[in-house]
Structure 1
Amino acid sequence: MNQPNQPNPNVIKNPQTGQLPQVKGPEMNERDFLNDMLATEKYLTDNFNILAREASHQSLNGEALRILNETHQAARTLFNLMFEKGWYQLTAASPQEISQTGTQFQNYRSQEPYHS
């Protein structure tokens, strides 16, 4: 177990850039704005995915797919910016976790009616 104030070796992140207040007031800072924008892009991709899947008109489907791709790209750009600034972190998976997930999805695949 990690000791207090020692970095977790499984956490993947960049050092934070800029000065964020230790105690934050109600005002929004750059991190808050980027986080809000990323959440909005995630919401949009979810909904444009539904539209693209369910659009019965070919032109509407094509336009929904185009916009869906744009919203995914915007979300990725925001994620990259937040990650670069150290405001978004990931936890590395262990080889055992990766193997278990691979096995889990192989089991799902064997349950598909038309798997090869």
Structure 2
Amino acid sequence: MQIIKKVPVKQVLTESSKASMQEQFDKRKSQLDQECQQLSFEKRKIEAKQNISKEDVSKRFQKEIDKRKEKIRWIDYQLEQLDVLPLGSEITEDEVETIVHVEEGDIWNDVSSTGAIIVQDGKVIRIDR
């Protein structure tokens, strides 16, 4: 029998991977900031129309803006942690699904134990089973 199991993909922190991750975080933060500005603009535009409840519009738009601001705070936290982590640290970056063969008599703890794929600078350097 075959089953599907989730396996974490971990990135070994190097100078280049650290710079790449920082760039990705900065891009995402910038995108979220632009979305907040666009939502604020749209909110003002809709509030200027007459036949619409300004309070309802304000609440809905503010809720979306707050969601994005929370994501920005999370990215700021991740950036701080990235600065603190020493080179060589392993960071869980992703999770993939893998197919595992299970036979009668297999030890379940061995089958179900979580392995990991370790990547350094774009190359798989180790597969823990």
Specify if TM > 0.5: no
Q: Structure 2 length as normaliser, TM-score?
A: 0.36
For normalisation by structure 1, the TM-score amounts to 0.39
Structure with a larger share of its residues in helix: 1
Rg larger for: 2
